[in-house]
Amino acid sequence: MRGNGAVAPARAGGAPRLEQVAELAGVSRSTASRAINGGERVSDAAMAAVQAAVAALGYTPNRAARSLVTRRTDSIALVVPEPDEFALSDPFVIGILSGLSSSLADSDVQVVLVIARPGQAERTARFLKGGHVDGAIVVSHHLGGDLDPALGHLALPHVFVGRPLLATGPGQTMPQYVDTDNVGGGALATRHLIERGRRRIATIAGPEDMSAGIDRLTGWRAELAAAGLAADAVVHGDFTMAGGRAATHRLLDEHPDVDGIVAASDQMAVGALAALAARGKGVPQDVSVVGYDNLGVAATAQPPLTTVVQPVVAMAAAAGERLLDLLAGGAPRAPKVFPAELVVRASS
């Protein structure tokens, strides 16, 4: 090391400069830069001196200059392949943002929201491949969406929240994902209604191009089959209140003897409550209802909604932690699947 520890004067009104850090630490400018940007080829003594100088001066690295050295942006994308109105208002997406923020709280990584609007996959893929972010978290994945080809071959480290329905070809690794036990959750909700004495149990299933919709329907069917009950009262919805309301009216038209409904989301379950009220059906006297998510709307519904817990915040936090691990050079890991849990309220 060199220098006598004297600090070069700062520019009038300016922030501390890298040259000042180097002079105070007694190292060259290039050594100071390497120490600040990861410590490659920097001795322990020089690293300690630079860290002390940074702390003493209150130096903040220039992020743009740093990215040129490290080829890192310190940003990750949260990719939501949905229309704007869904991506910006759905409680699931809001919960994902909350959980992801908590997992990144102790890092310098920022989140960039990327709404992958239908028909704009090429622009989204170009952004993800263009060096704007270091990695991505993908939620609300749809099978066969126009973003699929890009996701299937994306070299950028990425983790899905929810099991993706992506086929893997030769040389491709299984996608990294975090999920909840949707098959078990669908079965748990259905078993609860059977134990409550319901015998004509319908379902408002989720979209057929999403793993959550497919798996929750599978659990519903399996539990009814095990009980020897009919499993023909099925209508698919879109995870919205309006979709749940319309699906319930259709169910009641086609199966007027329905005495229980398992909805694949709380939003659709609340829509079902509205449709049942409009038809003069009491809940749970005439029809019991179970939702899925246990987000805010479940506890405030009238009546409060029995629902399967989807630990969205914990799932997002786990996905963020896994992505940070991948960015640090960690090896891919087996999927993390949270167990199903039922919260019983007045609707059943």
pLDDT in tens, 135-163: 999 998 888 777 777 777 788 899 999 99
Architecture of domain 18-70: Orthogonal Bundle (1.10)
pLDDT digits (tens, 9 = 90+) for 282-336: 999 999 999 999 988 999 999 999 999 999 999 999 999 999 999 888 888 999 9
Specify whether the CB–CB gap between 291 and 265 falls below 8 A: yes
What CATH number belongs to 75-179+314-338?
A: 3.40.50.2300
Region of 52 please: left (phi>0), alpha (psi -120 to 50) or beta.
alpha
What residues contact residue 29 under an 8 Å CB cut-off, 6+ apart? 18, 19, 22
**Burial of 206 from C-beta contacts in 10 A (0-12 / 13-18 / 19+):** buried
Domain ranges of the chain: 18-70, 75-179+314-338, 182-310
**Spatial separation of the C-alpha atoms in residues 348 and 344, rounded to whole Å:** 7
Query: Any idea which fold 182-310 has?
Result: Rossmann fold (3.40.50)
Task: Say yes or no: do domains 75-179+314-338 and 182-310 share a fold.
Answer: yes
274, 261 in Cβ contact below 8 A? no
Beta bridge partners of 307: 291, 343
Looking at the DSSP assignment, which residues form a beta bridge with residue 159?
A: 137
End-to-end CA, the chain: 73
Please, what are the averages of pLDDT over each run of 10 residues along the chain (348 residues)? Answer: 43 68 89 74 87 86 52 84 76 88 82 84 85 90 78 85 75 81 98 98 95 97 98 96 97 97 97 98 98 94 97 94 89 93 98
